[in-house]
Amino acid sequence: MGKLYRVDALIIRARDFGEADKILTLYTKEYGKIQAIAKGVRKPTSRLRGGVQMFAHSRLLLYRGRSLDIVSQSESVESYGSLQEDLVRLVYASYLVELLDIAVPEREPNENLFLTTLLSLRLLLGDDPELVCRMFEIRLLYLLGYRPYLSGCMICRQVLGTGTFFLDSKAGGIVCAKCSGGRVENRISSGTIFVMQKLLSMDPRQIFRLKVSPEQRIELEKALENYLEYHLDRVVKAKKVLKGLIKI
Amino acid sequence: MFNYYPAPVARLIDELMKLPGVGPKSAQRLAFHLLNAPEKDAVGLAQSIVNARQKIKQCSVCANLTEQDPCSFCQDITRDDRILCIVEQPRDVIAMEKTREFKGKYHVLHGAISPIDGIGPEQLTVAQLLSRLQGSRVDEVVVATNPNVEGEATALYLARLLKPLGIKVTRIAHGLPVGGDLEYADEVTLAKAFEGRKEI
């Protein structure tokens, strides 16, 4: 591999650096998460600028630098520009890429995750951004090897029915009320577990057909939030802002 | 670790290293430059730092940085107080002023909503803006935040917040930079420029 290389990248983070530069965190199809510096992109006349905005899916030509790679050319494939026209979707998108950033280590390619992320961003423009986020969360867990066991109680093998279950982050799956030892948090009904299974197995473009009740949404959100926090060991900052904004 | 520098010099280097873009080597070079420079230059620098820090505060009306409170923009009666321009940083006020196009008043947010950094409206001067708008003559608010994700999020938030108050909320135009090249414009910019076309 020469000094220049080409990547198919999603810009998941852009921090200001120096006078007019930005340090980008890219999630690439070829190399997973990498950092690169884009020089001069805060100036209006920069030729790189278009392809290095947040959430842009771009083809970039990178130059192997001594510490950080340098973006030398950029061409945007899809910019998801209309995400910026709706505050709630924008914050959901921020949440999604922050979660990705936290969850994946550097330089570990995962083409499926790359494609899932792009698809989720596109679906966020649709009618139900919340459900898209839930789908992304559970698929992220699946693709990174943290998929919760959802076919029945992990301890007594009781099959899914009408009873309630609990999502046990530590055990990595659901346990039934009897085996849970009197816990109260992360209650999850069979119906919600069914939704989780569907979110994993369905064609993502079809998920809007799922009927998810408001109670199930709350259960799903809480359970996945705790599960993600336990396995990633980090708090997603955008979540807090998201909760604050949805209220107004 | 053994310290090669006399204590006051080491401290000076440490302090200089806190400045943005200054590493250990630059800090050392700057420290020795200050020590070799005429005393009045070095003391002058120190005094102007102290001076600026002590005299400059946030304007209680617009949150711009100022020596007197309210700031000169807020006190200026020749400026139109029916139109308000909202910017992210005090340096954006300077940039707007250089255009000589805007004759209204300003409000400085001191940042932008950035979900990824956990910055929400509470960390900005939004509350101050709201209380300032109560019972004021302002009928138009121009949101001049940066045209990036954070700036857009802030603009959308402000629009949602201020429109119910019956205030017209406008956004500065997005378009092609003067002297730029159409070929290198990204499709979002180009689309926005197209959308905002004007009859000539």
Residue length of chain A: 248
**Co-location of A117 and A53 in the same domain:** no
> Mutating which of A78, A90, A121, A133 best tests the B interface, going by the most B Cβ atoms within 10 A?
A90
Q: CA-CA distance, B180 to B182, in Å (whole number)?
A: 7
A72 touches chain B (CB under 8 A): no
**Co-location of A161 and A75 in the same domain:** no
Range of the domain at A12: 4-79
**Co-location of A224 and A138 in the same domain:** yes
**Co-location of A94 and A73 in the same domain:** no
**Co-location of A69 and A112 in the same domain:** no
A163 touches chain B (CB under 8 A): no
**Co-location of A36 and A52 in the same domain:** yes
pLDDT for the residue numbered A158: 79
pLDDT for the residue numbered A173: 87
CB pairs under 8 A between A and B: 83
**Co-location of A68 and A104 in the same domain:** no
> Of A51, A79, A107, at which residue does a domain stop?
A79
> Of A33, A59, A79, at which residue does a domain stop?
A79
List, for residues A68-78, the tens digit of each pLDDT value.
899 999 888 88
**Co-location of A68 and A110 in the same domain:** no
pLDDT grade for A184, boundaries at 50, 70 and 90: low
3-state secondary structure of A74: strand
pLDDT grade for A247, boundaries at 50, 70 and 90: low
pLDDT at A163 over 90: no
Shortest distance, CA B76 to any CA of chain A (angstroms): 31
What are the tokens at B14?
């440490």
Better-scored residue on pLDDT, B7 or A79: B7
Residue A16, strand partner residues: A22
Q: CA-CA distance, B171 to A85, in Å (whole number)?
A: 12
Residue A149, strand partner residues: A173
Phi first, then psi: what are they for A222, rounded to 5°?
-60, -50
> Of A79, A97, A119, at which residue does a domain stop?
A79
**Co-location of A13 and A130 in the same domain:** no
pLDDT for the residue numbered A246: 65
> Chain A residue with minimal CA distance to B123?
A241
Better-scored residue on pLDDT, A56 or A161: A56
Q: Name the residue type at position B108.
A: V
Q: What is the ipTM of this complex?
A: 0.76
Q: Work out how many domains chain A is built from and give that number.
A: 2
**Co-location of A31 and A124 in the same domain:** no
pLDDT grade for B93, boundaries at 50, 70 and 90: very high
pLDDT grade for A29, boundaries at 50, 70 and 90: very high
**Co-location of A49 and A108 in the same domain:** no
- Prior bond to A109 cis, omega within 30? no
